[in-house]
Every structure is written in structure tokens, then in C-alpha cells.
Structure 1
Amino acid sequence: MRHEHLRGRGPHLPPLDHVTQFDFEPGYVLFPMSVPKRLRVVAGGVVIADTVRGIILNESDHIPVYYFPIEDIRSDMMRVSGRTTTDMFKGTATYYSMLDHDGKTIEDLMWRYDGQINGCPSLLSYASFDWKKADRWYEEDEEIFVHPRDPFRRVDVLPSSRHVQVFLGGKLVADSRRANMLFETGLPTRYYFTITDLIPGIIAPSETVTRCPYKGIARYYNVTIDNKYYPDMVWYYPDPVHESSRIKGMVSFANEFVDRILVDGREQMRPVTSFSLGSDRGDPHPLSATVTV
């Protein structure tokens, strides 16, 4: 028998007690969790959703998605667009466009599921928004990027005295015993170096800017080794979010594209990730053609 007073021990995931799998797709799960944070969405310069009663929808093979109660959405600014899509796990979604105060239309900004699929929790009283078509998203008063932070993903940044070496273009380009190692659930370890741990003269600023829900806004460096050019090979976060504050100003090489990385003399496996191949989070890295699946 399970005891309520012990529920906070071990993996504390009460929502999983109520998860059911789809009969027609065993192993595929979809379940909502209530979100205690205040959530806001800004589009067309207007706050179009503001709630403390939101939910986050967790689904196999998907990034998490915030859904908002219809009562907390500026429905007066939404008009049915005529577009619908059908999902075998969630049903039929009707899309809505927004007419802003300047008379401009943001097409298919919002969607809402009209029906009910057996095994899917009811979403009838909720709606969500296209992340990229909105201006900004907020959790409380902090802007968030790309998609909601996955409640099942963790980021740890730990200083390490292990010997980390990065090789590129046949040369040792980074060498440190004071790297910060960033461990992010489901992703390869990233090794962050101070600029002085790199051989001088190999990096030059790139115009590329990307965003990460867990680390913030990233900027990039191009690398040149013996006249060979590696675009966006190195990135850094000038002002990371608080969970990743230890990597502020430090630089990391793309594990996916360097020759090799050694940690205490042991070569690390080269990963294949959405960063290298592209996914619903963004375009492939410019060096993705070098990746073999």
C-alpha cells in the first residue's frame, strides 16, 4: 500500500499515476499538468493570454506545449481562419487568426481542439498559440524562448578539474582543467571554456543568434584553422538565464562537428542531435552535411 506522506520521495511525478497509453499506439503517452506560474503571451503588441490556470501538455515525441483557458484569452480579437488539422492523438484543431489594433492580421495564430479522442484528456476548454507568430512569451515576469521549459528536463552546470581537450582541423584548439560541464537531460555533455583556454586567433564573431529555453540567447563564433572555415562552430551566452549562469561568457564547441573531444585522455562519442540535423526547434546547423546517421 502506498502512503500519501511518502509521495514526495523517490521520483515525485504524481501526474504519471493517471497516464494511460493509446490502445492503437502502445507506449505513446499524452498528459497535461497544471502550471502554477503566471503565463502570458504577447502578439501584435497586445497581451492576448494571461493566466494562472494554464496547463502544460506533455506528449511523446513532442516538445511541451502551454495551453490557456479560453476565459483567459482575448477571444474578441480572434477570428476563425478556416484552417483545420487532424491529429490521431488529439483530434481536430480549428485555427484562429488575430486582427490587431493596426488592422493587421496574424494568420493561424491560435488553435483549439474541438473533439475528443479516446485516451486523450479533454482540451475543449483550452487553446494554444503558434510560438513563432507571437511577439513574446512570459513565465511570471521572465521572458522565455523557443518553447516551454520541459518539467522533466534538468540542466546542471558543474565546474570540473578533469582534463578536457578539443581537436579541430587536426589541431588541439582548446585545452583546459577548469572547464564548466553542462549536463542537460537527454543531450550530450557540453564543455565550456574560458577564451584563454583556446589557441589564439582562431575565432571571429558570427552574426548568428539562437535562443534556448534553458540557457537564453546564444551568439556564435566562426572558426578558421589553416585557412579552413568552420561556420558557427563555437557559441556562448553573454547573459544566460539564472539556471545556467555559470557559463556566462564562456565558449563551447559543437561536439557534433569537431574532430574529437578527449576527457582525461578518453575520446568521447560524437553525438547526432537535433542541433546537427534540424528539428521542429530550428534549422540544421550549416555543418550538418558532415554528420553521418
Structure 2
Amino acid sequence: MTNVDDRRIEIVPNRHRVRVIHYGVTVADTLHALTLRETGLPDVIYFPREDVNMARLKRSDHTTFCPYKGHAAYFHLQTEDGLVENAVWTYEEPLDMATKIKGYLAFYASRVDRIDQTS
């Protein structure tokens, strides 16, 4: 287990085309993603809002707090078959070490069909 004092985050530009696809619908498609690497956790891809179909997202009341990134707000993903609850999160006012992801959106890989990364 990682000691809290040993945890580090790094945010770097993702040089690939990245897409989120759910039920055959492309929900996000970007060449301008950021990858957040956090000690002890899988990498997370963050999408600029302008490259996400915001009409498919519905704000949730759910929030969480990370001592490294701050308060996260959530969105449900709207599909033809209903809502995928809290499938997307964002840090609208992140803490200093995470300012690069301000306003970007991340998708839970387990709640969408695919997150594709290509060259």
C-alpha cells in the first residue's frame, strides 16, 4: 500500500487520438487529452469539454474529494437505454498540483463500452 506522503501525480499531454464509445455512440473524441498518472493507480485520461458530447451528460448530485486533486463533480451518461450513473467526473476547481485538468472530463472505463487510444 502506498503511503499518503509518497503519492505523486503527473499530468502529461496524451499524444494519441482518444475516443469514448458506448452502445456504438462516440461520446468523446479528441487529439488533446491529458493523461494523469497517480502513484499506485491506473492512468486516467482526461478529455477537454469541447471534445465531449455534453448533450449526452446530465449533472449528478454525487461528489467526492481527493486530497491531491480536490472536489470532483459527476455526470450521468445519457443513453437510449437510460442513464449510466456517475460515469463521468471532473475537477472544476482542482487543487494546485492538478490545475492542468481543470474543467476536463474523465470516464470510468468500467461504465462505458470502450475507451480507445490510437496513433
**Structure 2 length-normalised TM:** 0.91
Contact 1:165 1:174 in 2 (8 A): yes
In 2: Cα distance, 1:228 partner to 1:170 partner:
15
1:201 corresponds to: 55
- State the match for 1:104 in structure 2: none
Gaps in structure 2 of 5+ consecutive residues: none
Task: Report whether the alignment pairs 1:226 with 2:80.
Answer: yes
Over the matched positions of the two proteins, sequence identity in percent amounts to: 34
1:155 correspondence with 2:9? yes
User: Whole-Å Cα distance in 2 between the matches of residues 186 and 257 of structure 1?
Assistant: 21
Shift of 1:200: 4.2
1:30 aligned residue: none
Query: What code does the residue aligned with 2:56 have?
Result: I
Q: Which residue type is aligned with residue 14 of structure 2?
A: S
Change (3 A) 1:201 1:241: same
Q: Which amino acid aligns with 1:222?
A: H
Which has the larger share of strand? Answer: 2
Q: State the distance in 2 between where 1:241 and 1:256 align.
A: 26
Partner of 2:103: 249
Q: CA RMSD in A?
A: 1.6
Q: Which residue of 2 aligns with 1:262?
A: 116
Contact 1:223 1:229 in 2 (8 A): yes
The answer to whether the 8 A contact 1:190-1:255 is kept is no
Please, what TM-score do these two structures have when normalized by structure 1? 0.39
Aligned: 1:210 with 2:68: no
- Alpha-carbon deviation of 1:153? 1.8
Q: Gaps (5+ residues) in structure 1?
A: 1-60, 65-149, 266-293
CA contact (8 A) 2:84 2:111 kept: no
Amino acid aligned to 1:173 = V
User: AA paired with 2:50?
Assistant: T
Match of 2:34 among 164, 168, 180: 180
Q: Please name the residue that 1:240 is paired with.
A: 94
Q: What is the match of residue 290 of structure 1? A: none
Cα shift readout 1:109-130 (whole Å, capped 9, x = no counterpart): xxxxxxxxxxxxxxxxxxxxxx
CA radius of gyration, larger in: 1
Distance 1:155 1:169 in 2: 32
Letter in 1 for 2:91: Y
Deviation at 1:241, TM superposition (A): 0.9
* 1:217 Cα deviation after fit: 0.4
Larger relative contact order (Cα-Cα within 8 Å, sequence gap ≥ 6): 2
CA distance in 2, matches of 1:181, 1:238: 17
Structure 2 SS opposite 1:263: strand
Paired AA for residue 69 in structure 2: K
Aligned-pair CA distance for 1:166: 1.1
Tell whether the 8 Å contact from 2:91 to 2:104 is kept in structure 1 after alignment. yes
How many residues end up aligned between the 2 structures? 119
- Amino acid of the residue matched to residue 64 of structure 2? T
How far residue 213 of structure 1 moved from its aligned partner, in angstroms, is 1.3
Distance in 2, Cα, partners of 1:224 & 1:205: 10
Q: Deviations over 1:11-58 (max 9, x none)?
A: xxxxxxxxxxxxxxxxxxxxxxxxxxxxxxxxxxxxxxxxxxxxxxxx
